[in-house]
A = this chain, B = another copy of it.
Amino acid sequence: MVDVNRRWLLKTRPAGMLRDEDFDFVKEPVPEPAEGEILVRVQMLSCDPTQRGWLGRDTYMPAVKIGEVVRSLGAGRVVKSRHSGFREGDLVAGLVGWQDYAAINPTGALGVTRLPPDTPLEKALGTLGLNGLTAYFGLLDIGRPRAGETVVVSGAAGATGSLVGQIAKIKGCRAVGIAGGAEKCRWLTEVAGFDAAIDYKAEQVEQKLSAACPDGIDIYFDNVGGEILDAALARLALHGRVVLCGAISVYNATEPPPGPKNYLSLLLQRGRMEGFLVPDHYERAQEAVGALARWVAEGKLKDQVDVQEGLENAPATLRRLFEGRNQGKQLLRVTP
Contact = CB atoms under 8 A, between A and B. Distances in A.
A257 B261 contact: yes
A244 B263 CA distance: 10
Interface string A223-261: 001000010000000000000111100100000111111
Q: Describe A's contact surface by its main secondary structure.
A: loop
Contact of A260 (B260, B265, B272): B260
A3 interface: no
Nearest to A277: B270
B267 A277 contact: yes
A60 B272 CA distance: 16
A323 interface: no
Contact of A274 (B60, B273, B275): B273
Contacts of A264: 225, 244, 247, 250, 275
Contact of A269 (B258, B259, B275): B275
Interface residues of A, number: 32
B256 A266 contact: no
Q: Which of A247, A250, A258, A259 has the most CB of B within 10 A?
A: A259
Contacts of A268: 59-60, 275, 277
Contacts of A258: 258-259, 261
A262 interface: yes
B270 A273 contact: no
B259 A266 contact: no
A259 B273 contact: no
A280 interface: yes
A126 interface: no
A272 B274 contact: yes
Contacts of A276: 267, 270
Contact of A275 (B260, B270, B275, B280): B270
Contacts of A265: 275
Nearest to A261: B259
Given A259-B230, A261-B257, A267 B280 contact: no
A282 B261 CA distance: 30
A271 interface: yes
A256 to B, nearest CB: 5
Contacts of A230: 259
Contacts of A256: 261-262
Nearest to A53: B268
26 contacts: A225-B264, A244-B263, A244-B267, A247-B264, A250-B264, A256-B262, A257-B261, A258-B258, A258-B259, A258-B261, A259-B260, A259-B261, A259-B263, A263-B273, A265-B275, A266-B274, A266-B275, A267-B275, A267-B276, A269-B275, A270-B276, A270-B277, A270-B280, A271-B275, A273-B274, A274-B274
> Sorted from nearest, which 9 A-B pairs have the closest CB atoms?
A259-B259, A267-B275, A259-B261, A266-B275, A259-B260, A272-B274, A244-B267, A273-B273, A59-B268
Given A266-B273, A267-B276, A271-B274, 15 more contacts: A60-B268, A225-B264, A244-B263, A245-B267, A246-B267, A247-B267, A258-B258, A258-B261, A259-B260, A263-B263, A265-B275, A271-B275, A272-B273, A273-B273, A274-B274
